[in-house]
Amino acid sequence: MDVNAYLDRIDIKPPTVADAAYLRELHRAHQNAVPFENLSIHLGERIKLGTDELFDKIVRRRRGGFCYELNGLFAILLEQLGYRVERLAARVFGGERYGPPFDHLLLRVTTADGDGPWLVDVGFGSHSTYPLRFADRGEQDDPGGRFRLAEAPDGDLELYKNGERVYRIEQRARELGEFWPTCWFQQTSPDSHFTRSDVCTRLDGDARITISGRKLIRTDRDGRVETPLGSDEEVLTAYRKEFGVVLDRVPAVASQE
């Protein structure tokens, strides 16, 4: 993988030392530059998890992706920079119940000098701006909210954001290929929330920019502002202007009936 091209993609200089401070910079820079998006599902594009395919999509074509893609490629970047990375599975809490096993991919990262481990997640949409201390069970304040990790049954960990459950983490290290069956489910099943709506979102400083359907949404500390996007050209222009994502057609969500 071309590390320098990846760092150029997220607008950050190569490190002098791949330490915790640089990891913080990487985490924020990635979320500012690379959107969390599920547009491939609604453009008829098959999602692939090979390193070459991920690099081509995210770096060369300047697209985004969802957790398996974003954290999948980010893990390889971190490893090539000298960090120790473990891929972990989580089940996202959907308000009433947890999603399936391998519902989400996140990373447990330790620096070369042993600092950490850190919970690293650039593939969840609205999440922490900076890595979280994996061993800390107290409140961790972040521009993205107040986070807390708590012990859960069977050796798992529960992540909370502003007092609300986010996901339950299984602490056993996994290989990226183990996530493929659930990745396939997420992109094809009518029971997956990813097939039911389209989203493209990224950090914009301490604010967040999102396109969902035909709405451009900006959320910051002053609240939420929605701007309707009428024509296809308005939608495509917004993707290009706000995310650098160049599409030849508007993503179409299939009917769930």
For 167-193, write each residue's pLDDT tens digit.
999 999 999 999 999 999 999 999 999
pLDDT for position 200? 98
> In sequence order, what are the beta bridge partners of 98?
93
CATH class of the structural domain 3-182: alpha beta
Q: Compute the average pLDDT of residues 100-129.
A: 96
Could you give the 3-state DSSP secondary structure of residue 101?
Answer: coil
> What residue segments make up the domains of the chain, in order of their start?
3-182
pTM over 0.85: yes
Q: Which residue has the higher pLDDT, 256 or 40?
A: 40
Q: Is the pLDDT of residue 252 over 70?
A: yes
pLDDT for position 255? 53
- Could you list the active site residues? 67, 104, 121
Q: Which of 65-69, 220-224, 240-244 has the lowest mean pLDDT?
A: 220-224
Structure tokens, 48: 């692939």
